[in-house]
Chains A and B, each alone.
Chain A
Amino acid sequence: MNSETTYSEQELVLLLQQRNNKAFGYLYDHYSAALYGIINSIVTNREIANDVLQNVFVNIWRKIDSYDSEKGRLFTWMLNIARNASIDEIRSKGFRDSQKNQSLDDNVNVTAGAAMSVTEDVGLRKILSKLKEEWRVLIDLSYFQGFTHEEIAKVLNMPLGTVKTRIRSALNHLRTVIK
Chain B
Amino acid sequence: MNIKEYISSGIVESYVLGLASEEERSEFEQLCKQYPELIKARTEFEMELEGLAFKNAISPSEDLKSKVFNEINTQTKVISMSMDSLGRTNWWRYVAAACILLLAGSIYLNIILSNKNNKLKNDYNNTSAELAVMKKDIEKLRGNPDVKMASMKGTEISPQSFATVYWDTTTHDVYLMLNNLPKPASDKQYQLWALLDGQPIDIGLIDNKYFVEQDKLLVRAKNIQNAQAFAITLEKKGRADISKPGGPIYVVGNL
Contact = CB atoms under 8 A, between A and B. Distances in A.
A171 B14 contact: yes
Interface residues on B, range: 35 or more
B137 interface: no
Interface residues of A, number: 50
A88 to B, nearest CB: 13
Interface string A54-66: 1001100110000
A81 B72 CA distance: 17
A32 interface: yes
A73 B50 contact: yes
A53 interface: yes
Contacts of A172: 8-10, 13
Interface string B29-44: 1001000000000110
Given A83-B18, A142-B19, A167-B10, A175 B45 contact: yes
A175 B42 CA distance: 12
A16 to B, nearest CB: 11
Contacts of B185: none
B54 A34 contact: yes
Interface string A93-119: 000000000000000000000000000
Contact of A71 (B10, B29, B48, B59): B29
Contact of B53 (A28, A34, A142): A34
Given A80-B18, A143-B19, A37 B53 contact: yes
Contacts of A37: 53, 56-58
Contacts of A24: 69, 72
B60 A53 contact: yes
A14 to B, nearest CB: 15
Given A58-B71, A70-B32, A167-B19, 18 more contacts: A19-B76, A24-B69, A33-B60, A36-B57, A36-B60, A53-B60, A54-B71, A57-B68, A72-B42, A76-B46, A123-B57, A124-B52, A124-B56, A168-B14, A171-B14, A172-B13, A178-B49, A179-B48
